[in-house]
């Protein structure tokens, strides 16, 4: 019994020292079950530039349309083809591309969730690794991701 307790204490100490935490610990198990695969999908789509798949989970906000459609924030929702074309023309030149992303935290907000992570970004000659915030709304049981909102706060991947 004493040996099992010692092993348990050692495991907890190693996990604590390594900083291993559950990014979803601040939300319910139900919310985690809904969000985790969608957050992983968003990260994969960003890093791999899978704009066609990202279109399915991208929130059609005025800000997104303003960024992608050069100021046309009253445009109707864009279809998959228009979105892919806009992302190819914008990401990495007019708007930073996310080259790597490590999730650190998911928080509940009154109108959805906030995903927080460390992102390695690049645009033309500019590069930065900093904290990114992404707002996620749940609509009809589906996670819709907002435009990433960066900060100047540096982080390490």
Instruction: Report the CATH fold assignment for 24-154.
Output: Nuclear Transport Factor 2; Chain: A, (3.10.450)
Which pLDDT score is estimated for 73? 66
Q: Rounded CA gap, 52 and 1, in Å?
A: 54
Extract the residue ranges of the chain whose pLDDT is less than 50.
1, 3-18
pLDDT tens-digit readout, 43-73? 999 999 999 999 999 987 777 766 666 666 6
Which pLDDT score is estimated for 150? 84
User: In the chain, what is the straight-line distance between the N-terminal and C-terminal CA atoms, in Å?
Assistant: 39
């Amino acid at each position: 019994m004493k040996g099992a307790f010692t092993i348990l204490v050692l495991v907890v100490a190693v996990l604590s020292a390594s900083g291993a935490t559950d990014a979803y610990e601040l939300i319910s198990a139900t919310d985690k079950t809904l969000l985790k695969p969608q957050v992983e999908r968003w990260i994969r789509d960003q890093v791999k530039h899978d704009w066609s798949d990202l279109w399915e989970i991208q929130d059609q906000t005025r800000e997104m349309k303003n960024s992608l459609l050069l100021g046309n924030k009253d445009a109707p929702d864009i279809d998959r083809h228009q979105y892919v074309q806009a992302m190819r023309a914008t990401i990495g030149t007019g708007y930073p591309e996310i080259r790597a992303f490590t999730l650190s935290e998911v928080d509940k907000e009154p109108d959805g969730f906030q995903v927080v992570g460390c992102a390695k970004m690049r645009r033309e000659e500019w590069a930065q690794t900093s904290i990114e915030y992404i707002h996620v709304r749940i609509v009809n049981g589906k996670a819709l991701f907002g435009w990433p909102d960066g900060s100047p706060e540096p982080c390490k991947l």
